[in-house]
Amino acid sequence: MTDAASTHSPGSGPTGPRSYMPSLQQRQRLRRWRAAKDWCGKGTIAIFGIGVIVTLVLMFVYLFSETAPIFGSAEMEAVGRYDAPGADGAPTLHTAMERYRQVAVRFTDDARAVFFYPTTGEVISEEVLNRPEGVNVTDFATGEARSRLVGYGLDDGTAIFLRHDYDISYPGGERQIAPKITYPEGNGEPLDVFAEEGYALDVIGVQRGGLGTAIIAANNEHEQLRVVLFKEDEDFLTGDVTVERQVYEMPWPEEGVEVTQILMNTTMRNLFVGGADGRLHYYDISNRRNPRLVASERAIQGGDAEVTAMDFLLGAVSIIAGGSDGSVSQWFLARNEQGERRLTQIRSFEPHGAPVTSIGPEHARKGFATAAADGTVQLHHATSDRTLARLNLGDEIEVDSVSMAPRQNGMLIVGEDGGFRYLDVRNPHPEISFSALWQKVWYEGRNNPDYVWQSSSATQEFEPKFSMVPLTVGTLKAAFYAMLFAAPLAILAAIYSAYFMAPRMRTVTKPTIEIMEALPTVILGFLAGLWAAPYFENNLPAIFSILLLTPISFIVAAWLWTRVIPAGVSGRVPAGWEGALLIPVVLAVGWFAVSMSPLLEVWFFGGDMRQWLTDQGITYDQRNALVVGMAMGFAVIPTIYSISEDAIFNVPKHLTQGALALGATPWQAVVTVVLLTASPGIFSAVMIGFGRAVGETMIVLMATGNSPVVNFNIFEGMRTLSANIAVEMPEAAVGGTHYRILFLAALVLFLMTFVLNTIAEVVRHRLRKKYSSL
């Protein structure tokens, strides 16, 4: 016989093949290879992790770099100083520049217009106005800044008004500007205001509007206030031009009051008179044959205070009043609680230390410059309620006049000594301040302060409204209603599919819901805006009936299934498949609600539920938060469901088995064990879904109506930060205030989601630590 041991092949033992033991050298190579793979894995993870952090930091830095300039301060720098150009040293009454700052004009008290170069003071041309010999200038006035209208009041009761215009040409590709004087009405001859009475024009105001050119004149000695309207008519056949003169008498503000300033707005319906008693007097002259002195408001405090300077801001709605006490304040007409229009002080600005001598409004913004007798010049902006810059020219210099360049990038200052100073102004974003962005602002034309977003308008004198509050509230509103719809459905569905649903049914249901996340949100927004919004509007009772009856029908169906349906019938349905039986219940409830909607509308809402809501004082917009909540909820549900379901399904089985072994029902095990253990994952799912809703763009863009309102009314729309960026970024001028405000909106959105995710991570970590012992 052959020995049994001899039958064993090499490497085999009595029980089978021997296990292979690598040599020491092989084991060392394996360790080095494993270490290399670990090092590569750790390095890759670290590189991409650091890359994510660096990307977030770079995003923040870029957004901040585009946003930071709007919070910079303004600068004024003196770049030219010279004596008064031309006119033999006659005192200067007013200066102005054209938009390119190549030509400036100076009006003197001997009725001359001197055109000169603002940087050097070199005279270009000089024009003598048609002032009668022996007649003196008593006052000077300007119209709304963009009109370039000025007027002289004379002591013989006549007035001269004119415009400084500029012809621009480009011979040989080089810009050339030819200044000239034009006369809106007439040929430059003095026009009669108080000439028949022989009263001097102590104070005048001029304005040009759709009705013609108006001169408003006051004679303090005889307490006469008159509006004279001149309108030029051209004969269609002969071309002859005639000037029609209409005279309207105004009541004197108050006996003994000395008039110091006069303004009329461009509609020629409102007249404002400043007095030596420190008050502003408002006249309603919409019916010029029956004018009314509506109200007198004290603008300057103190017994001897008087209104020393007064001018309109761009658009001739707001008045800036400067006083002998150095105060600077903004006023415009607003309705009081009784619905009456009253001249209302809106805000005050940083005062001067001496009487205000001149106000220079900007030509394209709600900004202005003020000058005082102590040689100080200040730059302000009305909407942002800021004093942006201050320049002290010296205590020995009293500033007589200040004027802004049409592009707000230059300033001419005239001192009491007749010397000129030309300033370069850098003030790119005066409209922005913390109060303008996050607090209520009293805008022109409104009766109360409010949060408003309105970045553009069809008129040049528009006051931009850049409040971030409506956009932030709109973002939170859209996310809130989306989560209100999505979170309960997603979490309850996750509990059922992870714990109660049959495995085979789960393998179909879970991927189907997760595939929903791949549906483009532009499709959901399209359906919500063009189909769901009008359908909801026409079937409001059906929508609310479905929301109310669906959970009730589930409870009733469950009661019937367990208490009424025979066990022999219910036992035929395999465990975990009961949920499929609710599909016909949902369809039946939907059909019933839609069928009953017209009847419910007639029975309870007078045949029109939308009108009924309006009658109750509830605004209903077709594209509203109800539509957005459901549409965006469908977009968020897959995210919350998938993460929550994984968290619940991965709860260790021994925990639930232990609870069941101790006598707990499956539902009790879910509530007391499973949900607590899975709570960190569920909370993360909710916060990720909330972040997804906050950043959503296309659905809210197409289904909200994009109305920036500040409320949580489910029947009204909203405008979100992301949708606002998408809508307005294409029309924003690169580098402009509007452009940078949109980047600020992006920065706010970025910080909002970052803070939410950080809080979510902290809470998740604490929940995980708290329930890790289960």
The DSSP symbol for 399 reads: E
Q: What pLDDT is attached to residue 64?
A: 93
The DSSP output letter for 74 is P
| CA dihedral (699, 702, 705, 710) positive or negative | positive
- Alpha-carbon gap, residue 264 to 212, rounded angstroms: 13
Domain covering 469-773 in this structure, CATH number = 1.10.3720
Q: Report how far residue 354's alpha carbon sits from residue 375's, in angstroms, rounded to the nearest whole number.
A: 9
Where in the chain are the domains?
75-454, 469-773
DSSP tag of 510: H
Above 90 in pLDDT, residue 764? no
Can you tell me the mean pLDDT for 314-331? 90
- C-alpha dist (Å) from residue 552 to 139, 541, 742: 82, 16, 46
* CA–CA gap between residue 399 and residue 405 (Å, rounded): 17
Lowest mean pLDDT among 293-302, 533-542, 685-694: 293-302
Class for domain 75-454, per CATH?
Answer: mainly beta
Band (112; pLDDT cuts 50, 70, 90): very high
DSSP designation for 500:
I
Give the residue from 271, 269, 327 showing the smallest Cα distance to 298. Answer: 327
Q: List Cβ neighbours of 766 (8 Å cut-off, separation of 6 or more).
A: none
Average pLDDT over residues 348-353: 92
Kindly provide the residue ranges of all beta strands, DSSP E only, lying in 362-419, ordered along the sequence: 367-372, 376-381, 386-392, 399-404, 410-415
Contact indicator for 701, 525 with CB cutoff of 8 Å: yes
For the beta carbon of residue 185, count every other beta carbon within 10 angstroms.
Answer: 22
Instruction: Give 773 or 637, the one with higher predicted confidence.
Output: 637
Q: Which H or E element spans position 422?
A: strand 420-426
Contacts of 274 (CB under 8 A, 6+ apart): 259, 260, 261, 262, 263, 280, 281, 299, 306, 307, 310, 321
pLDDT bin (cut points 50, 70, 90) of residue 481 is very high
Q: What's the pLDDT tens digit per position in 501-549?
A: 888 888 898 999 988 888 888 999 999 999 999 999 999 999 999 999 9
Which pLDDT band, with edges at 50, 70 and 90, does 7 fall under? Answer: very low
18-32, 134-148, 155-169, 209-223 — which is least confidently predicted?
18-32
Please name the helix (run of DSSP H) or strand (run of DSSP E) that holds residue 511, with its range, or none. Answer: helix 503-515
What is the pLDDT averaged over residues 72-84? 88
First to last CA, the chain: 66
Tens digit of each residue's pLDDT (9 = 90 or more) over 135-192:
999 999 999 888 899 999 999 999 998 999 999 999 988 999 999 999 887 778 898 9
Question: Which element (helix H / strand E) includes 200?
Answer: none
CA distance 729 to 735: 11
Which of 295-309, 339-353, 477-491, 658-672 is least confident?
295-309
CB-facing half-sphere around the CA of 418: CA atoms within 13 A: 11
Higher model confidence: residue 12 or residue 46? Answer: 46
pLDDT of residue 756: 84
Alpha carbon distances (Å) from 744 to 99, 338, 588, 632, 751: 30, 39, 49, 25, 10
Query: Which is more confident, 398 or 350?
Result: 350
Tell me the torsion sign for CA atoms 377, 381, 387, 388. negative
User: What's the pLDDT score for residue 10?
Assistant: 47
Mean pLDDT confidence for 79-91? 85
Residues β-bridged to residue 149: 163
Nearest CA to 114 out of 414, 408, 406, 407 is that of 414
Q: For residue 643, which of 510, 516, 519 has the smallest C-alpha distance?
A: 510
Per residue in 240-287, pLDDT (tens digit) is: 777 788 999 999 998 888 999 999 998 889 999 988 888 889 999 988
pLDDT beyond 90 at 449: yes
Provide mean pLDDT across the span 654-682: 87
Q: Give the tokens for residue 757.
A: 């995710």
Query: Residue 474: in which H helix or E strand, if any?
Result: helix 469-495
pLDDT category of residue 19 using cuts at 50, 70 and 90: low
At 3, the pLDDT band (50, 70, 90 cuts) reads very low
Lowest mean pLDDT among 56-70, 143-157, 240-254, 423-437: 240-254
- Integer Cα distance of 455 and 464 in angstroms: 5
Region 115-136: mean pLDDT is 91
pLDDT over 70 for what percent of the chain? 96
Percent of the chain predicted with pLDDT > 90: 49
pLDDT-based confidence at 396, cuts 50/70/90? low
Average pLDDT, the chain: 88
Would you say residue 11 has pLDDT above 60?
no
